[in-house]
Amino acid sequence: MRVAALDVAHSRRRSIAIVGPFDLPPVAMLDDRFRAMAAHGAITRLPLHPSTTSTRWSVAPEGRAAVLETAPLGPGEDPAVLAARVRTTHDQHGMQIITAGDYLAIDFSHGLGEVLMINSLVDSLLGNADPTDPEMWARYRHRLSPLLVAALRTFALDPRRALALAAARNDRPAVEPATGPPASPAPTTLAVGLPAETVARVRRYRDAQLPGVSLVSLFTHALWRALADAGVPMSTVVKLPFDARRYLPEGRDTLATFSAGLDFRIEPTKGPAALQEAMTAAARSGRPVANLLIGTLMTRRELLRGAGDEPAASPTGPIHLLHSSVGVLPRKGQWPFRDPAQARMLVASDPADLNSITVTSVTTMNNLWFTAEFHRSAIDPAKVRAALDSIAEGAATDSLAVI
């Protein structure tokens, strides 16, 4: 079947979601629930076989993934190690799911989708939703492209937005070039969690001292500063994904990836308020939709030219932070975590290149987890660990040093 050009662009990256601890159903039941969801077809994204070179993707009627049972984690073992384990089992197709005792790990191509798709999948696997119910998938059935609908609603109904975007285009931050020696990929995953009471403390501080500033802005600034203080040579340009579903009409949705990565300049002396102001202006102008439109055109041009994959090694340079905040999971109801205090969802997403670090933050059962994915050939893991630990330690102190 034919997919969007953006699906092809996103298929060059993969993510791993690690969620638990649960008293998981038997593997055979998990597999049956996966296939029940996939049976609803391409709108669930599960039956698709992503390609990085074509918008025509093959479809497997019951989905290509099978749930594999692997050894449980050892006593005290960090669930983040499951990222490396699931990488050894996937076949570069759309998705691979493993169990490890009381944890699930899902490796998936971004060409299939993002967190909304994984939320629906975990809902189905855990019995939080009935994957056989056709009403569950009704909002994802549509004839017109979601991007076309979003563009018409954003710019055709308010042409002033297009003019404002054109005027602001020259103000976009330029990314520093990489000039150091080449390095090869060496994916590494690290994570840290803030317990519910610490998150509540940060919210109270934010409400009192920085009203109007989102936790996304606050923690993006904190992550950037923590990495810089730990000795990572940080670029002052950060990338923040914006979910473009906000530009769709009520009742219309998609499980495909529909987020736009926007660049912003970090102003170390101005704090998170300046970043929040820039983010608000970008959302108001419709910049996320424009970004997706431009990405579509660029991908189509690359496909026509037959552009190849990225080189295995590339020069090193300043490190670019991408902070993806996916909000609260699950979107509805609750997952049956065995211990709410230990509840976590770690999302390890491929960085854009060797000179990037992707940090994904997820809130579940009021705990906030940060997962960093990067290449240890370009970034010292000890420095990233120090930065993540400083976020957790600073947020837990009365002085809220993380801010």
- Label the pairing between strands 14-20 and 103-109: antiparallel
Positions of the chain with pLDDT lower than 50, given as ranges? none
76-79 long-range contacts (CB < 8 A, ≥24 apart) are 78/191, 79/18, 79/20, 79/103, 79/191, 79/344, 79/346
- Return the closest-CA partner of residue 386 out of 186, 192, 233, 183: 192
Residue whose entry in the numeric block shows the structure tokens 């609908």 = 149
Tell how far CA 174 is from the center of its chain: 23
Residue position matching structure tokens 């002033």: 160
Residue 297, C-beta contacts closer than 8 angstroms, at least 6 positions apart:
none
Structural domains in the chain plus CATH codes: 5-131 (3.30.559.10), 153-402 (3.30.559.30)
Pairing of strands 367-375, 356-364: antiparallel
Q: Give the model's pLDDT for residue 94.
A: 86
Distance CA 124, CA 130 (A): 6
pLDDT given at position 146: 94
> How much is the CA Rg of the chain, to the nearest whole Å?
21
Cα angle for residues 396, 401, 403 (degrees, 5° grid):
105
Residue 317: predicted pLDDT? 83
Q: Roughly what angle, to the nearest 10 degrees, separates helices 215-229 and 196-209? A: 100
107-136 CB burial, b ≥16 within 10 A, e <16: bbbbbbbbbbbbbbbbbbbbebbebeeeeb
Q: 163-189 b/e with 16+ CB inside 10 Å = b? A: ebbeeeeeeeeeeeebeeeebebebbb
Cis peptide, bond prior to residue 272, ω within 30 of zero: no
Note the pLDDT of residue 66: 77
Q: What is the pTM of this model?
A: 0.93
- DSSP secondary structure letters along 43-54: GGSTTEE--SS-
